[in-house]
Amino acid sequence: MSRKLIIGSSGQIGTELVIELRKIHGSDNIIAADIRKPIDEVLFGGPFEEINVLDKARIKEVILKYKIDEVYILAALLSATAEKKPDLAWKLNMEGLFNVLDLAKEKVINKIFWPSSIAVFGPSTPNRNTPQQTIMEPTTVYGISKLAGERWCEYYYNKFGIDVRSIRYPGLISYKSLPGGGTTDYAIEIFHHAIKHKNYVCFLEKNMGLPMMYMDDAIRATIELMNADVSKISVRCSYNISGLSFSPFEIAEQIKKVIPEFDVSYNPDFRNEIAKSWPSQINDQVARKDWRWKPNVDLEQMTEIMLKQLKVVLV
Ligand code: AKB
């Protein structure tokens, strides 16, 4: 049985990926790892190891201890934090990837998942229906690190035959775990504020449309990509995947259908400039063709799930 190590298991994607993979493969086969303590469900639901993604020796020690053959590297600084801490962002986002790519090169592991982002695109990229292959001139520290990472993934595949797979995640919406330091974080905050305070001051402008996705779809995409037969994988940098696309105004209107008194105002800050540089809607034809990717959850369904679930947690 193949064992998997999830580095960054206390983060937004890591939390839900560990829970889902444990359901599929059994708790003992999914090793959660982070420098931060995870939520109880992850901590007590199976093995947890403290790992700093910058510590290659420690990663190797845990891999050998559990006889792991697949690693998911989810530890990263997101777009807004990366603008404030560019040196740390570059170090964490790049060195973490290299540590794991090199362990694959040394044949300590067989397969890697590494997340990229729609942040690899920039202002010169076509804003709508953004193709898999297009102009990529990111203007953010995070986007530059993700684009460089994509090139390195493809390089390690071409040069050393490393089976590394990747997705360009859009903004991810979930109720189980909070994001931290991203530009798309508003799309989760808005739900928390709608329930708790009935008002929200949005840090993006009203009509700033961005690509988004409900977390269940993102987790399923990750698992489907990793399970896909190797012959189906034609992209070794990172796949575009598309779910939803909405602006702060559009999501607020959806929420108002359930909470009519909800009031939103707009006070754009530096994150609005980041958002402006990204596409508003992505073309994912290649992922659909290669490994039959298809999103399930639309804006209405997502709003309904988020409000229902968060009411239970927050009220
Ligand atoms: C961010 O906003 O930085 C992330 C992303 C789009 O990768 N959610």
| 14 and 149 belong to one structural domain | yes
Of 197, 220, 240, the residue at which a domain comes to its end is 240
Token pair listed for 196: 């708790």
| 53 and 156 belong to one structural domain | yes
User: Which domain covers residue 279, as residue numbers?
Assistant: 172-212+243-314
Confirm or reject: Cβ of 275 under 6 Å from ligand 1: no
**Closest residue by CA, ligand 1 atom 1:** 182
d(CA 210, CA 166): 20
| Residuewise pLDDT in 10s, the chain (315 residues) | 789 999 999 999 999 999 999 999 999 999 999 999 999 999 999 999 999 999 999 999 999 999 999 999 999 999 999 999 999 999 999 999 999 999 999 999 999 999 999 999 999 999 999 999 999 999 999 999 999 999 999 999 999 999 999 999 999 999 988 878 999 999 999 999 999 999 999 999 999 999 999 999 999 999 999 999 999 999 999 999 999 999 999 999 999 999 999 999 999 999 999 999 999 999 999 999 999 999 999 999 999 999 999 998 887
Q: Is residue 13, in this structure, part of any structural domain at all?
A: yes
What total number of domains does the chain contain? 2
DSSP β-bridge partners for residue 32: 6, 48
CA of 263 to the centre of ligand 1 (A): 25
Token pair listed for 170: 């859009």
| 75 and 197 belong to one structural domain | no
**Which residues, 6+ apart, have CB-to-CB distance to 141 below 8 Å?**
79, 82, 83, 86, 89, 90
CA of 169 to the centre of ligand 1 (A): 8
Sheet with 171-173: strands ordered across: 171-173, 210-214, 244-246
d(CA 174, CA 41): 16
| 14 and 155 belong to one structural domain | yes
CA of 119 to the centre of ligand 1 (A): 7
d(CA 172, CA 23): 21
Tokens 């684009």, located at residue: 147
The pLDDT value given to residue 233: 98
Q: Could you confirm whether 175 is annotated as catalytic?
A: no
Q: Is residue 68, in this structure, part of any structural domain at all?
A: yes
Q: Is residue 59, in this structure, part of any structural domain at all?
A: yes
DSSP β-bridge partners for residue 5: 31, 71
Of 202, 223, 240, the residue at which a domain comes to its end is 240
| CATH code, 257 | 3.90.25.10
Q: Which candidate in 72, 142, 200, 214 is catalytic? A: 142
3-state secondary structure of 210: strand
| 72 and 93 belong to one structural domain | yes
Confirm or reject: Cβ of 183 under 6 Å from ligand 1: yes
| 10 and 159 belong to one structural domain | yes
pTM: 0.97
